[in-house]
Structure 1
């Protein structure tokens, strides 16, 4: 049986958007990164074009887990676009849309794969991406690096551990002094501080729920997605997780 390896990635931005069911003028966001969004991020870093369906599908085979290190607030932008052309090329209209996004969220994304060299290539690409990286929309750029410059670092690097082990043991990505103080105080008072997780699960898992966000094709005009089983869980925050990682990645 192959030894699993994981790559830990930080997704932190003032605004993020991870669409699940966006249709026409209603652009939604999930409360955590989608698999299609993370695969798209990897594809941009590696320089894989949208039309390269086979490579996109290979990327999507990676097992993925997310730990919510700071829950974001769902916000809404009301957009109007004037003079939108139509097929008749006259009587241009105004298009109104609601666009939702997450504000001030921070996520630990863990990718598990038996091929360590592949994860090392992904790490290098995320550190020096082929194309600019953004978190769901082009205006939503990362607030800090996605990975540590040193791939061997226990903080946002590649490790010989399982996805669940990395979700449990990786340092907390929170870097706001007020939140760090509040969490430390709660733990010292004996209160639990759970961090929500969402991970790829086996189809036979009775507690798994379907999520339609596995990319089959990103080709323009032919976006296709498949369904994956995901399971929600929790990791209990500890003081060691706080003090070992409460800093920006530089």
Structure 2
């Protein structure tokens, strides 16, 4: 399983891209920077898109992905989101006001984007991938995902504050190769992190105790304006398993 971090930050600025992880060039996890982060030909090769939740930094590039690849694929991008997220996308983004409704273009029968309802805790099978969507502690019905292909499994929590259910499932997973999760704010902003359902390095230190042991941990969603401080405070956690996703367009093989 090849995981490419197109964008892994919790904000947008030159050198900092919002969340989009591309798996094996075909399965996209969140659409915060896919249109701005990879070439159009690579965009058109994507088959399936998982959306963790409806915040703008995780859905914004659905608009530009559809525009870039309109008429190129001959088949829709198949998008998977739970009902609150699907409703938010259709109401606030693809509403023919903010952006055209690409779920009906060029036709309803053969649209550019097709959105499927995902039920939490019901396994989704997409080709070689088995995907378990699990509720996490964040807004708009946020989901984390455990993705398995052949002999490798990876946990993605995307945006979440302290949570529990996904770690219970993670302990039952065979061949768990990596955990991707987040630290957004420095320790001095714990009240903000708690209110917005995100992590600080201090809360992540406690969260790690819930995770399976001896599995590499990748921390993303750093807010660009606090990145230097977050690097320092994450290092103080003192866990050698941690890799910080501090730059975009990096890849990992599991």
TM-score normalised per structure 1: 0.26
Structure with bigger gyration radius: 1
Which structure exhibits the higher relative contact order, with contacts defined as CA atoms closer than 8 Å and separated by 6 or more residues? 1
- Greater per-residue strand proportion: 1
TM-score normalised per structure 2: 0.26
- Greater per-residue helix proportion: 2
